A and B are shown apart, each in its own frame.
Chain A
């Protein structure tokens, strides 16, 4: 059965720490992997990854995809309390989009 697995399920860090969130997948006809940040409402788009080894960066966030090992990581450096959220990984394969369960990140001041 196709699936998307995120780890850890939850994480508590202090401001200034660096965190790495993981997303592994097992799907057929992989097209792309997306990362989203979800606070109180709908998810907001962070990154879309389609090629292995090419890092995408946006400020303190970065992400990379490994299509051989079938996983992606999302890094957040110098974390701030505003980074507290659920981070969702989603994989598009064929004409479907499937989400992982998410990682709950809490950044303490």
Chain B
């Protein structure tokens, strides 16, 4: 099946620093990727849709200046959490649909962010 990777798998940072999370589609191209966050014992919440070659589309309530998304190529999207605070601590997951099967989402393994 299709493989999506994320890096890093976990990160601990100090409050005020910025953290970049990478999402890669390893064996297929993805013009669109999705970013989610998941708090403990809660479901996944869509944050934004990352579009290759254009601006990301953010969900209501998600600050685009805080969560910077760059979809630089057909296999890579990055999410940068800027000036991270403890309340940003969460599990961040990306997904990508297979070309020609836009509804079947393949998820990356997730990134656990802890902000001290």
Contact = CB atoms under 8 A, between A and B. Distances in A.
Interface stretch (A54-62, A65-73, A94-102): A94-102
A92 B43 CA distance: 15
A17 to B, nearest CB: 24
Contacts of A32: 103
Most buried by A among B34, B44, B105, B109: B44
A31 to B, nearest CB: 6
A48 interface: yes
B17 to A, nearest CB: 24
A102 B38 CA distance: 12
B34 A34 contact: no
Nearest to A47: B104
Contacts of B49: 95
B43 A100 contact: yes
Contacts, number: 44
B46 A42 contact: no
Contacts of A101: 42-43
A48 B104 contact: yes
A97 B46 contact: yes
Interface residues of A, number: 22
Interface in B10-44: 34, 42-44
B107 A50 contact: no
B44 A34 contact: no
A42 B43 contact: no
A42 B110 contact: yes
B69 interface: no
A96 B49 CA distance: 9
B44 A88 contact: yes
B92 to A, nearest CB: 10
Interface of A: 31-32, 34, 36, 41-45, 48, 50, 88, 90, 92, 95-102
Interface of B: 1, 34, 42-46, 49, 93, 103-110
8 contacts: A32-B103, A34-B104, A42-B110, A43-B44, A88-B44, A97-B105, A99-B43, A102-B43
